[in-house]
Structure 1
Amino acid sequence: MSERIGLFADIHSNLEALDACLERAGELGVSRMVFLGDLVGYNADPAAVVDRIAALVASGRAVAVMGNHDQAIFTDHSRLMNPAAWTATEWTRAQLNAQQLDFLKQLPLILKDGDACYVHASAYQPESWRYVNNDVSAWQCAEHSGEIYTFVGHEHDPMLFYQTEIGKLRRFKPHAGKEVPMPSHRRWVAVVGSVGQPRDGLPEACFAVFDPREQHMSFQRVPYDYYTAAEKVRRAGLPDSLADRLITAD
């Protein structure tokens, strides 16, 4: 039986979106999970989200890497973030207990497993939080990954890059729910989209499922109660723009 790996990025403290994606992953037969960073930030349920993911990691069913918003909880990123993001970061820090903070601090920047590399931003200088959003940045990411398959988050917009016959990487825009063949004679870089704050005009949560044995991947869009998630943001006293973004997905 093939192993199906669920790939979840940019959860951003959105409990409603995370729970909906985990439920869909179970329905799709996902047996292993990878959390590609930015577990916290922007939204109103950081403690619950960290606890959910920490429990999955402790059970051996999941692994996780660090994102820039996770790092910002214990490192000053005030000059790197816009005011709304930094306001949410400072608020988030006050919501987390010592155990939750320690979990975020212990997350690695990058993980490799078999033919796969997992990282929040680019495998090229992962500590610099570079975006993978065009052919050149995807090529840099693949070169420094050194693996056949590289899975990243950070961009909040799902996309897939494949290696051409002359070695360049080209962008492919996936359709939700459609299996994309990913044969191992090429290199691939997949940007898996955002669970908790999509920015591609579709408010539905996004995650991906990869089958390493069958060598294919699908991107999933999952409806969830984003109005409740947005109202929680407002009730927490966080910037209204963060609540609005859950609905507009811009």
Structure 2
Amino acid sequence: MTATPSPACAGGHDLEIPQPAQVMGGSFSMADVENSRFGLIADSHGNLEATRQAIRLLTGLGADTLVHLGDFCDSIHHDRTAAMIGLLEEHGVLAVKGNNDFLVESMLADTRRSLDPEGKRTLAFLRDVPVTRMLNGLVFAHSLPFDSLRSFYEPIDTGGTQKAARLFAETDFQLLFCGHSHLPILFRKSGSRVTREQSPPLEKQLLGTAGDGPHRGENSGSEGRFIVVVGSADDGECALYDRNIGVYTRLRIFDRECIPQAPTCGRV
């Protein structure tokens, strides 16, 4: 969320949310992720070390699908873009486009700029990154889950529940994972009530699973719909969502206490 959007993208008016038919994005193969653990990273802002450590931690904790929720690039430190893209490609990280990624793409696409082969490869990668990715009721986006410029500039979390409530009313997703506002926060819709909740590190939160409907467990918190702001990798945040059991866990990238929480920690 570092870069300031242009007036044409940001504006000073109320957000115009597109109709659900306009929610678009790349799709996952169900065969690949039917029983997947999602490792979630967001807002790296060119921080290669934090991103590398997040990948290492999440893979060690059993994540078999890694998703970066946008702003892996940084519009100020854009000299790190090629290295960051190389890191994502090396580990098969699926990405969605953030506002900084879009700004770097726009800079590279400037016809007044002559690109070397690395620059051309970088531009091709950025152009191919979708704004959203979806799997049944699971949605991954930088902020709003729509295929528009405003979607990755407008934060959902502004300290209250108004934007989240409006987004729930205009869509039918079960669970949205996003970044952009950097603070790890969870919005829960239960009936007509929308709450804004903290996500304490290492606490397992039962959110439910997508596809056949919410995961029903003893914890009543498993019912409802959710928006989860993962937090910034540049600030040491990442998260794990186990789709098999509907459990979300906020993790601190450089906190060694995170490692013993999973039986696969010996692989880190």
Per-residue CA distance 1:62-109 (angstroms, 9 max, x = gap): 421110101101337xxxxxxxxxxxxxxxx99962111211111111
Aligned CA distance change for structure 1 residues 74 and 46 (closer, same or farther; 3 Å): closer
Task: Find the counterpart in structure 2 of residue 210 from structure 1.
Answer: 241
1:175 alignment partner AA: P
Taking only the aligned residue pairs, the percentage that are identical comes to: 23
Q: Which residue of 1 aligns with 2:95?
A: 64
Give the TM-score, by structure 1 length. 0.71
Bigger mean CA deviation after superposition, 153-162 or 123-132:
123-132
* Structure 2 partner of 1:21: 54
Name the residue aligned to 1:49: 84
Note if 1:138 corresponds to 2:164: yes
* Contact preservation (8 Å) 1:54, 1:103: no
TM-score, normalised relative to structure 2: 0.67
- Is 1:4 matched up with 2:37? yes
Which amino acid is the alignment partner of residue 49 of structure 1?
M
Runs (5+) with no aligned partner, structure 2: 1-33, 108-114, 209-213, 215-222, 256-268
Select 2:68's aligned residue among 35, 39, 44. 35
The two structures, once aligned, show a CA RMSD in angstroms of: 2.4
User: What corresponds to 1:176 in structure 2?
Assistant: 201
Shift of 1:144: 4.2
Q: Deviations over 1:181-230 (max 9, x none)?
A: 1132310000000112x3xxxxxx10111111201101111228xxxxxx
Count of residues in correspondence between the two structures: 196
Cα distance in structure 2, aligned partners of 1:126 and 1:150: 17
- Structure 2: distance between partners of 1:144 and 1:112: 17
Secondary structure in 2 matching 1:38: coil
Rounded to whole Å, the distance in 2 between the matches of 1:155 and 1:126 is: 18
Q: Of the two, which has the highest radius of gyration?
A: 2
Counterparts of 2:104 and 2:118, CA distance in 1 = 9
1:142, distance to aligned residue in structure 2 (A)? 3.1
Other structure's SS at 1:33 match: strand
Q: Which runs of 5+ in 1 are unaligned?
A: 77-92, 199-204, 225-250
Quickly say closer, same or farther: Cα 1:144–1:109, change in 2 above 3 A.
farther
- Equivalence for 2:173: 147
Match of 1:159 among 177, 185, 188: 185
Deviations 1:41-66 (A, max 9, x none): 04463221111113334xxxx42111
Letter paired with 1:47 = A
Aligned mates of 1:215, 1:74 — CA distance in 2: 35
| Residue 236 (structure 1) aligns with | none
Change (3 A) 1:52 1:141: farther
Return closer, same or farther for 1:140/1:222 CA change in 2, 3 Å cut-off: same
**Distance in 2 (alpha carbons) for counterparts of 1:18 and 1:95:** 25
